[in-house]
Every structure is written in structure tokens, then in C-alpha cells.
Amino acid sequence: MDTRLEVLLRQLETEGQLHDEQEPEHGRRMLNLERGTAEVLALWIQSSRRRRVLEIGTSNGYSTIWLAWAVASSGGKVISIDRSEAKHVLADANLRRAGLREAVDLILGDGTEAVAGVTGPLDAVFFDADRYSAPAQLEMLLPRLASDVLLFSDNALSHPQEIAGYLAAVAKLPDFAHTVVPVGKGLSVAYRAGNRDS
């Protein structure tokens, strides 16, 4: 990662933390990934050469920048969804500052409604928005997943009750291996091995 991008990410981390400390309304907080989680997620995406990644929960684009950087070496694309217009504008600006705007399709709208319009095949999905909606979103996405696919979700350890439905849905998926990596707030990782060309 070049120094310019590293500096921008550090700046966004600081700004996000300060903003969230002063913002009483949960829905208006940035709620960015912890640095360790972002690094693990990006390295997983990059090392496995994912090319079509869906992120549900853009916020200010902090995690989106990490994902876009991760797919850049393989010429991949990130599709990122968020329902907040203010955060959508912030993410657009931050991705431009990062020089990664062309690697990302930003979608403004309700996560579940927007997921219905996303086309496949997707070789990675990162669930980082409304945890209660994630099981239904996963079900909708199943026909559009590549045979070789990674599924990620944050907050697997910090919000066990809220994410329980998603984890139960993942556990029922045939041919998927699953684990929770104890980094940050807990990163759920599920993987189905398959043909990388599908």
C-alpha cells in the first residue's frame, strides 16, 4: 500500500472515531471497521484474487477503500450499498481521494432492496450493515454466488444475539466451511471451494 493511501486511511480512522464519540445517534455514526479487521479482510480478498465483491454497509467508505485496494491488483470491482445519503456522499468523496472511485459501484438504498438488483456471479460478500436483515439478504444472493466464494460478516463476537440468525443461516449452507476469527469485533468467514471460472 502506498504512503498516500496509508495516510488517508489513518486520517479516516481518526475522524471516524472522533465523530462517533460525539454522535449520540447510532444511525449517524460511522461505525468503521477496526484496523485489524480491515487488514485481515483486505489481505484475504487480495490473496485469493477476488474480482467481484459485494459490500453491504458502505458508511463513509473506509472499509470500501480497503476492499477496492484489495481487488485492484486483479482488476476487480466492488459493489457497495448504503441507505444513508450523507454517508453515500462521504464515501464517494473519500474513494475519489483514494484514487479508487472507478473500482467501486456505489449504490444508495435499502440493503435488502438493493441486493435484489445486484447481478452475479459474486466471489465475495461482506455483510456489515443491519445484522437482522443479513439472513434474508444471504438467501437472495445464493443464486448469484460464484461456486468459489467467500462470505464475511463483522461483529460476530461483539453482537452475538443480533448476528445469531446470520450465523445459523451460514451453518445450514451445504459445502461451506465456517469459522470466526477473533480480530476486532469478530470476523465471521465462510468459504465454499469451487471452480474459479464460474
| Dihedral sign from CA coordinates of 103, 107, 111, 115 | negative
Q: Does domain 3-192 have CATH number 3.30.1330.200?
A: no
Report CA torsion sign: 105, 109, 112, 118: negative
Peptide bond into 24 cis (omega under 30): no
Q: What is the pTM of this model?
A: 0.93
- CA-to-CA distance for 133 and 32, rounded, in angstroms? 19
Measured CA to CA, the distance from residue 179 to residue 170 in angstroms comes to 10
| Strand-pair partners of 149 | 192
Per DSSP, the three-state class of 103 is: helix
Q: What is the C-alpha to C-alpha distance for residues 172 and 175, in angstroms, rounded to an integer? A: 9
Q: What is the pLDDT of residue 197?
A: 59
Q: According to the model, what pLDDT value does residue 22 have?
A: 86
AA identity, residue 131: R
Q: Are 73 and 43 in contact (CB under 8 A)?
A: no
CB atoms within 10 A of CB 26: 8
Q: What is the pLDDT of residue 198?
A: 47
Compute mean pLDDT per 10 residues along the chain, 198 residues long, and list them: 90 86 84 91 96 95 96 94 93 96 95 92 94 94 97 94 94 96 96 77
Q: What is the three-class DSSP state of 130? A: coil
In tens, the pLDDT along 21-72 reads 888 988 788 888 899 999 999 999 999 999 999 999 999 999 999 999 999 9
